[in-house]
Amino acid sequence: MGQAFTRAAQWTSAKDGTGGKLEFTKINEELLNCIVQFIDGYSSKFSSESKLVFKKPLKWQSSLTPNQFSAAGCSERGDDLVSDEMADKENPLFSLMKINASSYQCCVMSLEWAEKVSQSAGDRKLHEVRACLEANRDPGANILGDRFATVEGEDNSIYRFTEEITKEIEQLSKQSSEGEGNEDRTAEIEEKKAILKLKLQLSKLDQDLMNTSISLISKEVRLNPSTVDGEVKNLRELSGPSEESCVLKSIGFYGPVFVFENGCRAPAHRQLHGDIAYVEVQPFDTGVLYIMANTSGYYTFKGPDGLGEMQYEREGEPCRDLVLLLKQKSPKFAEMIDNQDFSLKVREENEKLSDHRHEDTMDNDEQVTQRTDIQRRKKEMEEQDKEKQTKQKTQRKKRLEPSLKWKALGMEEYKVDERQGDSNRRLKKKKTTPRMKSKTPIDAEDSFSESSTESEEEEEAVERRSETNADLPSEYWQIQKLVKYLKGGNQTATIIALCAMRDFNLAQETCQLAIRDVGGLEVLINLLDTEDIKCKIGSLKILKEISRNTQIRRAIADLGGLQTMVKILRDPDKDLKCLAAETIANVAKFRRARRTVRQHGGIKKLVGLLDCVLLTSQMTPEIEKDIEVARCGALALWSCSKSKKNKEAMRKAGAIPLLAKLLKSVHEDMLIPVVGTLQECASEPSYRLAIRTEGMIEDLVKNIKSQTDELQMHCASAVFKCAEEKETRDLVRQYGGLDPLVSLLQKTENKELLAAATGAIWKCAISPENVQRFQELKAIEMLVSLLNDQPEEVLVNVVGALGELAKDPPNRLAIRKSGGIPPLVNLLTGTNQALLVNVTKAVGQCAEEQDNMGIIEKLDGVRLLWSLLKNQNTEVQASAAWAICPCIEKAKDAGEMVRSFVGGLELIVSLLKSHDKEVLASVCAAIANIAKDEENLAVITDHGVVPMLAKLTNTTDDKLRRTLAEAIARCCNWGNNRTAFGREKAVGPLVKYLKSQDENVHRSTARALFQLSKNPENCITMHEAGVVQPLMAMVGSSDEDLQESAAGCISNIRRLALANEKARYS
Amino acid sequence: MTSKRKELQKLVEKLSKKKDIHFNRQQIEKLIYKFSDLHGGRTLMDKNHVARMERGMFRDILYNYFSMTDDVLLDRVFRAFDKDSDNYINVEEWINGMSVFLRGLKEERIKFCFCAYDLNGDGYISREEMFQLLKTSLSRTSTDEDQDESIKELVEITLKKMDDDHDGRVSFEDYKKGIEEDPLMMEFLGPCLPERKRCDFFLEEIEQLGKY
């Protein structure tokens, strides 16, 4: 409430020593009312803040006496009244001390008590508040301490305070994380928070007060000379001798014609009182009126007395405009102005003033001065307006200018800023751009817009550049000098400079960026376009090195280096080809570069490089060179093959047979890029097929046995991807690839290799023959040992492999014996979705074994599985539901266990609303198992399982049909569910299932139909749907189960028919 | 005429037996033919009536066939050919020189280039010699003084790279070592060997000689 009181409230000048008093004006009254409203009921809204103890008490001379005071919690001490609650040792929160016989001094130390005082004061509230505020000119400072005292200009105290609090909170959290809990500090922070809250509320109050006072002030009239001139002039135009057409006989300024520079006509000594001019009005009905135009409005006054002396005494209330005043004074004027719509005209005139002015023929001196005056003012105003507009325009322009980047930086923040104070904006701006410190703001903006279209990596680039600019290393200057020679020298100087440049440590980022920053990249890339082979080689040798840096890569691509290098791939010089390919391999590590290579025909040329004579008995230098070229080509293709379109382009360019040929190489240098490319491409089915048919599996398996981790890793990774296909899996086994894969499990320190190897094992284990071999190799034990502290990439594959292996019953036992179940169950709590899918599968497989199930149950694994049904990933949901099935089947008291999961049954029934077929199928399977328990069946029936299942019956998906029919069959065993299924029209669609090709669907459908046929209505529906014929066929099935249900169903239908006949004929 | 032909045959015989000549007989014959044909059929003779080639003619060849333009270096290549320093190139010098120039092994070429760069023939390339050879290598500086400064700096950079034993000059050993480190430095003071394709082109043209 500081600002409102120093500015808006009207104080009497400080005559006595105690400071001013609040004037008894309307504004002040409004302000006081606002404050009273604020205080009343404060404690009920903000109880903690209201208890906050003031830094200094608010003291004032009160008119209250102790006996008027009604609030509880006080005790009398002699003449004084003192609260029981104490602020500290000496001071009570509230006291009312007797000063002299009639008056008391009131002393308050919390808002709670202030409120109580206000309540006790009753109708003297305003008086008390007034007294309080007069005694305490800045109550905010008293309440919150001097740091929040009202100051002129910017007030940053809140921001500083907020920062302080956040800092302290941070510190505290740091400390508490180190283990030393500090309760005192927490309390302190809590208090500070309360202070902040209170301060914000006070500021809000302050603002509200300001707003009220402004709206009040704006109601007050402020006249100025030009408006007075205008009004008088307008009325003069409507004045004249004719009583019928004119409103006044005459109107004019009274007194000397002289106009002061400020536009006033009143004499200087009267201007001190706010007088502007005096108007003499002669209405038709009354005598002459003298009107005083004061800044606060129009008044009538006595005017000159007989001696010509002015009597300045005002009469009556001020009026906002002259017309209004005249209306009051002269009925005739009021009548005329209303009748003839003059008032409107006056307004119009007023608006047209400027237009009329030119045609105005009056040559009255006064008029002229007046006119010019107005003209001048208007002009000035217009000019100002224009200026403002242009300013705004430029400002707006500036706002719009910063490119998209601003969005990334948080336009949101900016918007918030605008609402808050200017100081705050500056503060935040600083925060968002701290890394630009070394640059001027303009530079910073430039670099922003430059890189606006780039991705995050570039942003990093900007950041780092500014860092390196901060302190330039000596290399920078040396490199700059060399670049100068590159630019200005002939071939000889260029080569010397190129060679000298390579003496720098080009692997070092400072040097790499220095070359770029001094414009070296452009020169190096330009050199690639020259005729001189030596220059090209020298340049490429440097580019090859520095392109290991991501920023340089992008810069090379931006400067069109890739296009030139792709061209060089056709050069007859083999060294040059090699270097270009190697550099492309480095640069094409990001998507845009790979696309550029493809679009400029680079893929075809690179594939062309692969074509070399290999495996010749004698190696001539020429052939060695060719092999080197092929190796470099493979390196570049490896980089390029990360893009899907490039893979396609490579295949079309005939890369596969060439890669197959190179795969026969014995050199690891060659094999690594070749296998790397292959494993990258193996994500495409076309490549997988080609890898198998071109006989590459044999070579891949052979190289898994190599000595180099990297090569092994790529080979295993290629097998991982290729082994999706059964034939490939068989080939891996036939070539003896399973043994080396298992032996790779020992390389626990190389996680990438481990991930690739376990992945390959996982996929290979899909084939039962391979599982056999893995069993012999004791893979399970090794895999289980990898279940502990491995990165997720490895775990996903390990668990996937265990899940596949556990499909073979003896392996389930092996997993249990090697202690694999607890870690598996433990992994159910993870968050990695790929991992969760695999873990649920593995646990589900393990649960098929009775003994395993015991362990899983003990570890509460079923509950964990159940909770995974809530996972948002449908794959996880489905595989968790599948895993639940064997758990229920094998658990000892499954019904009780399922019931123990609170809300579990409701959850699983609600999953029937899923849109994912796999989820639906798995959930149906789970429901079929749950429904075995009668009590649970009752519960899920209550949850509406019947209509939900019935709704699903229209599906054509065989997997879902099978589990759905199973679930329906089981759910029939409760209450009138059979009838309900019939009512929900589940029977008709079920009959159609019998036409399916899937034997399993038949079996479960027959079972469901058998159950449903126990209801006569359903029998009729079935019969109408033509169920008998397919069922008859199924009675002849070799599957006993199917036979039985089909026969049962037919017999039910038949019985109904018989009963029917009997009824008819008897 | 017959004696002359015999003499020629003898010469060819002799040269083709030399191990450091990388041409076959026929090529040698053609080269000799070229040598005598250079002056438009009118072979220049010394006082012993031995055919020889003068500097201007040699420079023309380098210019026409190998696009070498640097005056200083043209002279230096001439010096490298002209083993006996009599300012003329005789047939033997021509064949020997061309053997290195067109088909030289690495070792031979290193020797050839070093010989060309070693202006005073003292076995070292000094700062001054480098300065001489690099004088024209920079184009874009404004004043002569700047130019000289820049070239001096360039000489220092070169020296830093090539002067392995830090004695302020480049010995043959230094030079060899420098090239081993960086093959591009072979012609570090200016091109004095032809480009591969120009060699092929020249040899092809020689093959055509006398066929008409």
Is B127 in the same domain as B178?
A: yes
Name the domain count of chain B.
Answer: 2
Integer-rounded Cα Rg, in Å, for chain A is 47
Q: What is the pLDDT of residue A356?
A: 46
Which position has the higher pLDDT, A110 or A711? A711
Q: What is the pLDDT of residue B133?
A: 87
Q: What string of DSSP letters covers A480-503?
A: HHHHHHHHHB-HHHHHHHHHHHTT
Q: Each residue of A723-772: pLDDT tens digit?
A: 988 899 999 999 998 999 999 988 888 888 999 999 999 999 999 889 98
For residue B154, give the nearest of A496, A503, A537 by CB distance: A496
Task: Name beta bridge partners: A104.
Answer: A62, A98
Whether B2 maps to a domain, the answer reads no
Q: How deeply is A550 buried, as exposed, middle or buried, from its count of CB atoms within 10 A (0-12, 13-18, 19+)?
A: middle
Q: Do the chains contact at A492 and B184, CB–CB below 8 Å? A: no
Is B180 in the same domain as B123?
A: yes
What Cα–Cα distance (Å) separates residue A591 from each residue in A510, A530, A638? 25, 28, 13
Whether B1 maps to a domain, the answer reads no
Q: Flag whether pLDDT at A20 surpasses 60.
A: yes
> Which helix (DSSP H) or strand (DSSP E) does residue A1053 occupy?
helix A1040-1065
Whether B164 maps to a domain, the answer reads yes
Whether residue A1047 lies within 8 A of chain B, CB to CB, comes out as no
CA distance linking residue A853 with residue A890, whole number of Å = 6
Is B22 in the same domain as B90?
A: yes
Contacts with A493 from chain B: Cβ below 8 Å: 134, 137-138, 154
For residue B158, give the nearest of A488, A496, A533 by CB distance: A496
| pLDDT band of A836, cuts 50, 70, 90 | very high
For residue A490, give the nearest of B137, B161, B185 by CB distance: B137
- Contact in structure between A278 and A313 (CB atoms under 8 Å): no
User: Tokens 């950079």 label which residue?
Assistant: B157
Query: What are the domain boundaries of chain A?
Result: 3-169, 238-329, 475-559, 903-1065
Q: Flag whether pLDDT at A48 surpasses 60.
A: yes
Q: What string of DSSP letters covers A21-55?
A: -B---HHHHHHHHHHHHHHTTHHHH-HHHHTPPPS
Whether B162 maps to a domain, the answer reads yes
Is B11 in the same domain as B92?
A: yes
Q: Is the dihedral of CA A158, A159, A162, A163 positive or negative?
A: negative
Q: What is the pLDDT of residue A365?
A: 47
Q: Flag whether pLDDT at A865 surpasses 60.
A: yes
Q: What is the mean pLDDT of residues A883-897?
A: 87
Mean pLDDT by 10 residues, chain B (212 residues): 71 81 84 74 60 83 85 87 85 88 88 89 90 81 71 89 88 91 87 85 81 52
> Which helix (DSSP H) or strand (DSSP E) does residue A302 occupy?
strand A297-304
Q: What is the pLDDT of residue A404?
A: 42
Q: How deeply is A1043 buried, as exposed, middle or buried, from its count of CB atoms within 10 A (0-12, 13-18, 19+)?
A: middle
CA distance linking residue A289 with residue A266, whole number of Å = 17
Q: What is the mean pLDDT of residues A1018-1036?
A: 86
| pLDDT band of A10, cuts 50, 70, 90 | low
Q: Each residue of A352-388: pLDDT tens digit?
A: 454 444 444 444 444 444 555 556 666 666 666 655 5
Is B55 in the same domain as B142?
A: no
Tokens of A236: 């003069």
Q: Do domains A475-559 and A903-1065 have the same CATH topology?
A: yes
Is B27 in the same domain as B132?
A: no
Q: Where are the alpha helices (DSSP H) in A137-182?
A: 139-144, 157-177
Q: Which residue of chain A has the CA closest to B142?
A: A488
Range in A209-218, A597-606, B8-17, B38-47 the model is least confident about: B38-47
CA distance linking residue A836 with residue A800, whole number of Å = 10
Cα A59 to the chain's mean position, in Å?
Answer: 50
Is B200 in the same domain as B97?
A: yes
Q: What is the pLDDT of residue A1015?
A: 85
- Contact in structure between A416 and A424 (CB atoms under 8 Å): no
Q: Flag whether pLDDT at A1011 surpasses 80.
A: yes
Is B141 in the same domain as B43?
A: no
* CATH code of residue B76: 1.10.238.10
HEC string of A329-393 equals HCHHHHHHHHHCCHHHHHHHHHHHHHHHHHHCCCCCHHHHHHHHHHHHHHHHHHHHHHHHHHHHH
Q: Each residue of A56-79: pLDDT tens digit?
A: 788 888 777 777 776 667 777 777
CA distance linking residue A461 with residue A454, whole number of Å = 10
Contacts with B158 from chain A: Cβ below 8 Å: 496, 500
Q: What percent of chain A has pLDDT over 90?
A: 20
Is B144 in the same domain as B86?
A: no
For residue A495, give the nearest of B141, B184, B195 by CB distance: B184
| pLDDT band of A922, cuts 50, 70, 90 | very high
Q: Flag whether pLDDT at A700 surpasses 50.
A: yes
Q: Flag whether pLDDT at A454 surpasses 50.
A: no
Q: Is the dihedral of CA A244, A247, A253, A254 positive or negative?
A: positive
Q: What is the pLDDT of residue A403?
A: 41
User: Tokens 């490939």 label which residue?
Assistant: A728
Contacts with B185 from chain A: Cβ below 8 Å: 495-496, 499
A225 — phi, psi (to 5°)? -55, -40
Q: What is the pLDDT of residue A650?
A: 93
Whether B59 maps to a domain, the answer reads yes
Q: What is the pLDDT of residue A219?
A: 63
Which position has the higher pLDDT, A508 or A348? A508
Is B148 in the same domain as B180?
A: yes
Which position has the higher pLDDT, A158 or A840? A840
| pLDDT band of A453, cuts 50, 70, 90 | very low
Q: What is the pLDDT of residue A373?
A: 56
Domain at A475-559: CATH architecture: Alpha Horseshoe (1.25)
Range(s) of the domain holding residue B42: 7-105+194-208
Task: Decide: helix, strand or coil at residue A829.
Answer: coil
Q: What is the pLDDT of residue A923?
A: 92
Q: Flag whether pLDDT at A841 surpasses 50.
A: yes
Whether residue A489 lies within 8 A of chain B, CB to CB, comes out as yes
Q: What is the mean pLDDT of residues A461-490?
A: 72
CA distance linking residue A960 with residue A288, whole number of Å = 104
Q: What is the pLDDT of residue A408?
A: 41
Q: What is the pLDDT of residue B52?
A: 78
**Residues 6 or more apart in contact with residue A714 via CB below 8 angstroms:** A672, A675, A676, A678, A679, A756
Provide the number of CB pairs (under 8 Å) joining chain A to chain B: 64
Contacts with A489 from chain B: Cβ below 8 Å: 137-139, 154
Which position has the higher pLDDT, A1003 or A311? A1003
Q: Which residue of chain B has the CA closest to A494?
A: B137
Range in A103-112, A254-263, A390-399 the model is least confident about: A390-399
Whether B201 maps to a domain, the answer reads yes
Q: What percent of chain A has pLDDT over 70?
A: 81
Whether B161 maps to a domain, the answer reads yes
For A443-582, list the strands marked E by DSSP: none
Task: Name beta bridge partners: A294.
Answer: A275, A297
Q: Do the chains contact at A488 and B140, CB–CB below 8 Å? A: yes
Q: Flag whether pLDDT at A347 surpasses 90.
A: no
Is B119 in the same domain as B176?
A: yes
Is B124 in the same domain as B79?
A: no
Whether residue B173 lies within 8 A of chain A, CB to CB, comes out as no
Whether residue B184 lies within 8 A of chain A, CB to CB, comes out as yes
- Contact in structure between A523 and A484 (CB atoms under 8 Å): no
Q: Which residue of chain B has the CA closest to A485?
A: B138
| pLDDT band of A460, cuts 50, 70, 90 | very low
Q: What is the mean pLDDT of residues A245-256?
A: 80
Q: Flag whether pLDDT at A887 surpasses 80.
A: yes
Q: Each residue of A268-309: pLDDT tens digit?
A: 888 887 888 888 888 888 778 888 888 878 888 877 776 667
User: Tokens 């376009």 label which residue?
Assistant: A529
Smallest CA–CA separation between B28 and chain A, in Å? 26
Nearest CA-CA partner of A678 in A737, A616, A610 = A610
**What single-letter amino acid sits at B130?**
M
Q: Each residue of A769-816: pLDDT tens digit?
A: 899 889 888 888 889 988 888 888 899 999 999 999 998 888 888 898
Look at domain A903-1065 and name its CATH class: mainly alpha
Q: Flag whether pLDDT at A468 surpasses 50.
A: no
Q: How far apart are the first and last CA of chain A?
A: 101
